[in-house]
Amino acid sequence: MRLTFASYNIHKAVGRDRRYDPERVLTVLRELGADVVALQEADRRYGRRESVLPRQMLDEHHWQVVPIAMRPASIGWHGNAILVRRGLDIIDGDRMTLPMLEPRGSVRAGLACAGRRFEVVGMHLDLSGMVRRRQVATVCSAITRMGAPAVLMGDLNEWSPTRGALAAFGSPWNVLMPGKSFPSGRPLAALDRIVHSSQWQCDRTWVHHSAAAALASDHLPVLAKLSWMAD
């Protein structure tokens, strides 16, 4: 079984031209061809916390939304959301509370492909390095206890290529570096990462560069093609 995972901070659908344009973000999502996408900054931060990507548009683009939102107009929690292509099964989903200095959280989805279950976590970590390490430890501990193959991804806000919060993953997690993804106009840092458990094998990683992606958000999407290794 081979699946493509993507992580994308969509900056509330406001592009580098400071224009709100959800259709532009959906164009980028279509370009990715991913099976599972973790979004960051997918909801507005205040008020009704409504999604910046209208539900009808997501339906028209054939995306399933993992049901983890606490408010009717939202698709996520603390801006984190998970989209799944049709054909994959959504078993369940929930919210994960993280240690924080500012409002932060993580979301989890239990998914299945051809009857084989796996976990996906989407996250947007704190700006404080010490807090980031605690957040990583919290997520890893919770998912390890579940025992299923897992993929963790998101905007980790970690500027170090190998240390800092990345070192907190440890064994049996494999931290991938698809490439520099921020800022989208001239990427300087690999803030967006994909991490997988030992049951997966990484076939390929990359950063998605396109004209639409360079304009739609201040981050570029990162992707990984993973194969589920034989039991």
pLDDT of 231:
60
Q: Which CATH number fits domain 2-228: 3.10.129.10, 3.90.1150.10, 3.60.10.10, 3.20.20.100?
A: 3.60.10.10
Confidence of residue 230 (pLDDT cuts 50, 70, 90): low
Mean pLDDT of the chain: 94
Q: Convert the pLDDT of each residue in 103-146 to its tens digit.
A: 788 999 999 999 999 999 999 999 999 999 999 999 999 999 99
List of E strands, the chain:
2-9, 36-40, 63-65, 81-85, 89-97, 105-113, 116-124, 150-155, 174-176, 192-196, 200-207, 222-228
Confidence of residue 48 (pLDDT cuts 50, 70, 90): confident
Q: Which residues pair with 20 in a beta bridge?
A: 14
pLDDT in tens, 148-168: 999 999 999 999 988 999 999
Over residues 2-47, the pLDDT tens digits come to 999 999 999 999 999 999 999 999 999 999 999 999 999 999 877 6
* 81-99: average pLDDT: 95
The torsion region of residue 55 among left (phi > 0), alpha (psi -120 to 50) and beta comes to alpha
Q: Which of 225, 223, 228 is nearest to 206 (CA)?
A: 223
> Which residues does residue 107 pair with via DSSP β-bridges, in sequence order?
95, 122
What secondary structure does DSSP assign to 64-128, as a single string? EE-S--SSTT-SSBTTBEEEEEBTBEEEEEEEEE---SSS-EEEEEEEEETTEEEEEEEEE--SS
Report which residue type is found at 5. F
pLDDT of residue 104: 82
pLDDT at residue 171, rounded to an integer: 85
Q: Specify the higher pLDDT residue, 171 or 84.
A: 84
> Residues for the chain: how many in total?
231
More confident residue, 230 or 141: 141
